[in-house]
């Protein structure tokens, strides 16, 4: 009898538990609102150390913010010392006396801090509430002449030795150079573009322009005369939205990218005639009284490009130019390599853009339109060219800038010729010396070279076993060969900042499930000191819980995929939750965080509504793995990643009983918007709900560079030697008839990246297929949705809650979660 009672009680308990596990989950708007971007600003402070190297030395300062306020630190790696740059309380008192606004040690708003040349003083700005008259130049630009006042900004100087603070006069502050002013190496002249042509002026006239751009006495010297709109020498990038032939815009000065020889005797630039390219338009319905039409040139995949990139070299004394013969492929891309920025790039405080090379020779990359052929080419100032390295592949190639060593007699070249990104040593004439790195890992960027030790440093990922292969580390290696030496151990993703000498680096490291930390290392791998541990105390006190990394298999059952799972912070393992995938297909990246960050808007926060949210890679995604993995989607740009998203969800549901595989949603932005809609159409019985933002649903009308690169373009050469290109790609609109679930499509109406036509054509196809769906147009918004991002989040939260939880606030008019964060205005 006792056993029977026990059995019955157990059965009743089981039934109660089952009922609880099946209990309806209500959309938790309050928990999601608790971690809004505005609230996160008060819970997440500094998460990395950004070193400001002092006057090109190894010493640096940085600012770091915690829940106790902000501090400024001075670090000397050679003496292994770190100290406060100043006493906050003391400086706050001194600032208060001068500015007359009260400040304290925790609230010290210093801006634009910089060291003086002698490194004994610092200068900075402090904003006050005091009204002051705007300058004459500022008043002349005002549309509303009555708006002549502004809040005074104090310019202050603090002596680090004597701890004295004084106010500097406005004229003591060096005025910023106009963004259009590019200096010649002797700094006697500045070069710029105007009315689509090249100009220069001397220093005296530059000073006039710094005081008043419209000073009629400014003397300018015109260099070229044949520049026109869309076939310009500068100031007219064809991809930049314009208002057409606007006289005022043509008269403005614009920056132009000139690359100089070290001796300043020559400079080079590229030019291309884009007048034949067809225009594209967006209409801004809400910007001005009348809707305004924006026109810009836009080359779509497969379209005819009838002109070629031109490479021009100018002789500085005569300012005459010659076009250099560098043609090898039709519709080729030419890139001029610039010298890395270092102390020699500055003459005084004037930055000079030098070409990579010597006085007689510089280097370019030359790529075929299909990107299956890329050359590294040495170009002499007399026009002679020599191909140093040829890269060839049956799929598209990537390329990096060569790194010259040993006084320019050798260079290190990056290539994926063996299926992985590795470094190769070449002599200056293009003779291969040896492969420097090899194995199943990916090398990224060279960060320095030590002439004395003959060792170079670089970043790489995937080399350390039993780690996520995306985690980046820092290494050193001899150019004589051998095994790379790991410089920053630890099972984390490491982001580094290297000093100009290459002797030291700041290492910022974390995972998605750890608090960020920062340390200082020498490039011998010695830990100099711990710098900071991020303060997440407020975030954790609010109930935040770290997400969980996971690994699953791809659709082939072989390839490892890496992802992150985000749970509600009130997660209950006895309940069953819908699953939402946040996706971005790549191929230039994947939407999977590897380190702790602030990307809680569309991932962490969405989970708080009552969902399990995951991000996971897919074959054809991130370039930091093998070339096979990266180019898996070549020729199949619509469908290549979808199977992996489906099987990842299935594997996780099999492993975790709290995941309901029958309620799967999917969302993403841009490529993710395209992918989420495609998933609904290719696997309509698996994916039930999608919210697709700014998707390139028809890649045949997306930009040529991305679409042709990652999908492929067919080059045809006829018997006469004429070359043509053709492009075919599958589109989401072709599958509109397959829609079964709930789909919300959103776009900004002035998106000049992924044109609104992508979404509108998807809408048209769904209407023609007699489908019910939802469409959201965000007026006056470009690709990222701008100041309507928060509105979009809550519309997305509503949509998933309504259709996956059967619980939402869609019957309410006000989005109170936004209103609570926004001060009421009269």
What gap in Å lies between CA 197 and CA 227, rounded to an integer?
A: 5
Residue 86 and residue 160 in contact, taking contact as beta carbons nearer than 8 Å: yes
Tokens 């019955």, residue located: 8
What gap in Å lies between CA 376 and CA 397, rounded to an integer?
A: 13
So what's the pLDDT on residue 17?
A: 38
Which H or E element spans position 675? helix 671-682
Comma-separated ranges of CATH 3.40.50.1820 domains in the chain: 19-42+539-819
Q: Where are the alpha helices (DSSP H) in 446-500?
A: none
What gap in Å lies between CA 460 and CA 472, rounded to an integer?
A: 6
What gap in Å lies between CA 777 and CA 788, rounded to an integer?
A: 11
Lowest-pLDDT choice from 491-500, 745-754, 815-824 = 815-824
pLDDT of 12 strictly over 50: no
pLDDT of 5 strictly over 60: no
How many angstroms separate the most distant Cα atoms in the chain?
Answer: 111
**pLDDT averaged over every residue in the chain:** 93
Two structure tokens written together for 218:
């400014």
* Alpha carbon separation from 72 to 58, 87, 172, 500, 705 (Å, rounded): 17, 9, 24, 21, 43
So what's the pLDDT on residue 373?
A: 98
Q: What is the pLDDT of residues 638-663, one digit of tens each?
A: 999 999 999 999 999 999 999 999 99
pLDDT of 240 strictly over 90: no
What gap in Å lies between CA 351 and CA 361, rounded to an integer?
A: 21
What gap in Å lies between CA 381 and CA 266, rounded to an integer?
A: 8
Say which DSSP state 162 is in: T
So what's the pLDDT on residue 18?
A: 37
What gap in Å lies between CA 315 and CA 294, rounded to an integer?
A: 38
What gap in Å lies between CA 91 and CA 105, rounded to an integer?
A: 8
Reduce the DSSP state of residue 176 to 3 states and report it. coil
| Percentage of the chain modeled with pLDDT above 70 | 94
Pairing of strands 659-669, 687-693: parallel
Reduce the DSSP state of residue 803 to 3 states and report it. helix
Measured at the alpha carbon of residue 335, what is the angle toward residues 377 and 502, in degrees to the nearest 5?
85
Two structure tokens written together for 655:
């492993």
- Split at pLDDT 50, 70, 90, the class of 599 is low
So what's the pLDDT on residue 46?
A: 96
Burial class (CB within 10 angstroms; exposed 0-12, middle 13-18, buried 19+) of 403: buried
- Split at pLDDT 50, 70, 90, the class of 20 is very low
* Alpha carbon separation from 3 to 7, 16, 89, 171 (Å, rounded): 6, 20, 73, 94
Comma-separated ranges of CATH 2.120.10.30 domains in the chain: 400-535
Print the SS3 string covering 129-143.
EEEEECCHHHHHCCC
So what's the pLDDT on residue 609?
A: 97
Would you call the peptide bond into 206 cis, given omega within 30 degrees of 0 as the criterion? no
pLDDT of 351 strictly over 70: yes
- Split at pLDDT 50, 70, 90, the class of 134 is confident
Print the SS3 string covering 36-85.
CHHHHCCCCCCCCCCCEECCCCCCEEEEEEECCEEEEEEEECCCCEEEEC
Radius of gyration, alpha carbons of the chain: 30
Phi, psi of 295 (to 5 degrees): -115, 135
Q: What is the pLDDT of residues 327-349, one digit of tens each?
A: 999 999 999 999 999 999 999 88
Among residues 498, 509, 512, the alpha carbon closest in space to that of 448 is found at: 498
What gap in Å lies between CA 751 and CA 772, rounded to an integer?
A: 25
So what's the pLDDT on residue 669?
A: 96
Among residues 531, 536, 537, the alpha carbon closest in space to that of 517 is found at: 531
Measured at the alpha carbon of residue 289, what is the angle toward residues 285 and 292, in degrees to the nearest 5?
45
> What number is the average pLDDT over the span 10-22?
41
What gap in Å lies between CA 69 and CA 71, rounded to an integer?
A: 7
pLDDT of 303 strictly over 50: yes
pLDDT of 6 strictly over 80: no
- Split at pLDDT 50, 70, 90, the class of 721 is confident
* Alpha carbon separation from 608 to 65, 172, 601, 642, 644 (Å, rounded): 27, 52, 11, 25, 25
CB atoms within 10 A of CB 637: 25
Q: What is the pLDDT of residues 460-504, one digit of tens each?
A: 999 999 999 999 999 999 999 899 999 999 999 999 999 999 999
> What number is the average pLDDT over the span 171-183?
88
What gap in Å lies between CA 603 and CA 605, rounded to an integer?
A: 6
pTM of structure:
0.93
So what's the pLDDT on residue 146?
A: 63
Q: Report the C-alpha dihedral over residues 747, 752, 756, 762, rounded to 10 degrees.
A: -100
Among residues 55, 83, 33, the alpha carbon closest in space to that of 542 is found at: 33
- Split at pLDDT 50, 70, 90, the class of 147 is confident
- Split at pLDDT 50, 70, 90, the class of 13 is very low
What gap in Å lies between CA 110 and CA 52, rounded to an integer?
A: 15
So what's the pLDDT on residue 668?
A: 96
So what's the pLDDT on residue 149?
A: 87
Would you call the peptide bond into 587 cis, given omega within 30 degrees of 0 as the criterion? yes
Residue 658 and residue 672 in contact, taking contact as beta carbons nearer than 8 Å: no
Q: What is the pLDDT of residues 404-455, one digit of tens each?
A: 999 999 999 999 999 999 999 999 999 999 999 999 999 999 999 999 999 9
Residue 273 and residue 297 in contact, taking contact as beta carbons nearer than 8 Å: no
On the CB side of 424, CA atoms within 13 Å amount to 22
Measured at the alpha carbon of residue 722, what is the angle toward residues 719 and 728, in degrees to the nearest 5?
100
639 compared with 826, residue with greater pLDDT: 639
So what's the pLDDT on residue 246?
A: 57
Q: What is the pLDDT of residues 205-228, one digit of tens each?
A: 999 999 888 899 999 999 999 999
What's the fold here for domain 400-535? Neuraminidase (2.120.10)
Phi, psi of 452 (to 5 degrees): -70, -45
- Split at pLDDT 50, 70, 90, the class of 300 is very high
Lowest-pLDDT choice from 135-149, 180-194, 205-219 = 135-149
Q: Would you give the distance in Å from CA 531 to the centre of its chain?
A: 26
Edge-to-edge order in the sheet of strand 403-405: 403-405, 410-415, 422-427, 432-435
Which H or E element spans position 310? strand 310-315
CATH class belonging to 19-42+539-819: alpha beta
Residue count of the chain, please give it.
826
- Split at pLDDT 50, 70, 90, the class of 821 is confident
So what's the pLDDT on residue 140?
A: 65
């Amino acid at each position: 009898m006792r056993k029977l009672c026990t059995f019955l009680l157990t059965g009743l308990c089981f039934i109660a538990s089952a009922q609880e596990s099946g209990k309806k989950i209500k959309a938790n708007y309050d928990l999601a609102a608790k971690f809004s971007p505005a609230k996160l600003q008060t819970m997440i402070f500094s998460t990395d150390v950004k070193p400001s190297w002092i006057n090109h030395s190894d010493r640096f300062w940085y600012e770091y913010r915690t829940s106790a306020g902000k501090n400024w630190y001075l670090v000397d790696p050679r003496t292994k010392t770190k100290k406060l740059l100043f006493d906050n309380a003391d400086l706050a008192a001194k600032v208060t006396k001068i500015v007359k606004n009260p400040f304290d040690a925790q609230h010290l708003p210093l801006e634009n801090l910089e060291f003086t040349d002698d490194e004994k003083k610092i200068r900075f700005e402090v904003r006050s509430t005091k009204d002051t008259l705007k300058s004459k130049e500022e008043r002349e630009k005002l549309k509303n002449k009555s708006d002549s006042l502004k809040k005074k900004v104090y310019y202050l100087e603090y002596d680090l030795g004597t701890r004295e603070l004084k106010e500097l006069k406005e004229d003591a502050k060096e005025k910023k150079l106009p963004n259009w002013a590019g200096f010649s190496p002797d700094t006697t002249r500045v070069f710029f573009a105007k009315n689509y042509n090249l100009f220069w002026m001397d220093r005296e006239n530059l000073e006039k322009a710094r005081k008043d751009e419209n000073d009629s006495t400014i003397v300018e010297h015109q260099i070229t005369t044949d520049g026109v709109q869309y076939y310009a020498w500068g100031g007219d990038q064809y991809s930049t939205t314009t208002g057409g032939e606007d006289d005022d815009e043509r008269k403005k000065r614009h920056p132009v990218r000139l690359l100089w020889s070290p001796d300043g005797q020559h400079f080079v630039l590229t030019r291309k005639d884009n007048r034949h390219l067809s225009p594209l338009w967006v209409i801004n319905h809400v910007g001005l009284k009348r809707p305004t039409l924006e026109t810009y040139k836009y080359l779509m995949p497969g379209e005819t490009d009838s002109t070629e990139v031109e490479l021009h070299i100018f002789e500085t004394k005569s300012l005459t130019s010659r076009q250099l013969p560098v043609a090898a492929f039709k519709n080729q891309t030419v890139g001029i390599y610039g010298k890395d920025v270092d102390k020699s790039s500055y003459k005084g405080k004037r930055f000079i853009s030098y070409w990579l090379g010597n006085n007689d020779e510089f280097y370019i990359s030359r790529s075929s339109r299909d990107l299956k052929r890329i050359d590294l080419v040495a170009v002499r100032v007399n026009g002679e060219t020599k191909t140093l390295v040829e890269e060839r592949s049956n799929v598209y190639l990537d390329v990096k800038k060569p790194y010259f060593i040993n006084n320019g007699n050798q260079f290190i070249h990056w290539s994926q010729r063996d299926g992985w990104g590795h470094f190769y040593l070449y002599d200056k004439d293009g003779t291969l010396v040896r492969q420097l790195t090899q194995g199943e890992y990916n090398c990224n960027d060279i960060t320095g070279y030590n002439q004395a030790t003959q060792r170079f440093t670089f970043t790489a990922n995937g080399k350390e076993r039993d780690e996520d292969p995306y985690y980046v580390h820092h290494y050193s290696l001899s150019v004589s060969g051998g095994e790379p030496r790991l410089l920053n151990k630890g099972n984390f993703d490491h982001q580094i900042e290297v000093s100009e000498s290459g002797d030291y680096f700041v290492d910022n490291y974390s995972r998605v499930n750890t608090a960020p930390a920062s340390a200082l290392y020498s490039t011998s791998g010695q830990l100099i000191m711990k710098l900071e541990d991020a303060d997440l105390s407020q975030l954790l006190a609010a109930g935040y819980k770290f997400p969980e990394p996971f690994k699953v298999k791809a659709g082939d059952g072989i390839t490892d995929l890496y992802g992150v799972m985000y749970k509600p912070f009130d997660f209950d393992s006895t309940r069953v939750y819908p699953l939402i995938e946040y996706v971005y297909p790549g191929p230039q990246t994947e939407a999977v965080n590897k380190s702790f960050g602030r990307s809680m808007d569309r991932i962490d926060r969405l989970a708080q509504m009552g969902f399990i949210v995951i991000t996971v890679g897919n074959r054809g995604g991130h370039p930091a793995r093998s070339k096979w993995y990266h180019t898996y989607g070549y020729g199949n740009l619509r469908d290549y990643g979808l199977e992996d998203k489906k099987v990842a969800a299935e594997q996780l549901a099999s492993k975790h009983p709290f995941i309901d595989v029958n309620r799967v949603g999917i969302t993403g932005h841009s490529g993710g918007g395209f992918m989420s809609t495609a998933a609904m159409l290719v696997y309509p019985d698996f994916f039930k709900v999608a919210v697709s933002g700014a998707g390139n649903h028809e890649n045949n009308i997306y930009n040529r560079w991305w679409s042709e690169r990652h999908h492929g373009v067919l080059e045809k050469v006829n018997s006469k030697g004429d070359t043509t290109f053709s492009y075919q790609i599958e589109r989401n609109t072709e599958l509109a008839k397959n829609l079964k679930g709930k789909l919300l499509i959103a776009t900004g109406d002035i998106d000049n990246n992924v044109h609104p036509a992508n979404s509108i054509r998807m809408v048209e196809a769904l209407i023609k297929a007699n489908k019910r769906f939802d469409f959201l147009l965000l007026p006056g918004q470009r690709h990222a949705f701008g100041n309507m991002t928060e509105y979009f989040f809550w519309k997305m939260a509503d949509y998933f809650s309504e259709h996956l939880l059967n619980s939402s606030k869609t019957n309410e008019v006000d989005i109170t979660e936004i209103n609570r964060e926004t001060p009421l205005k009269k």
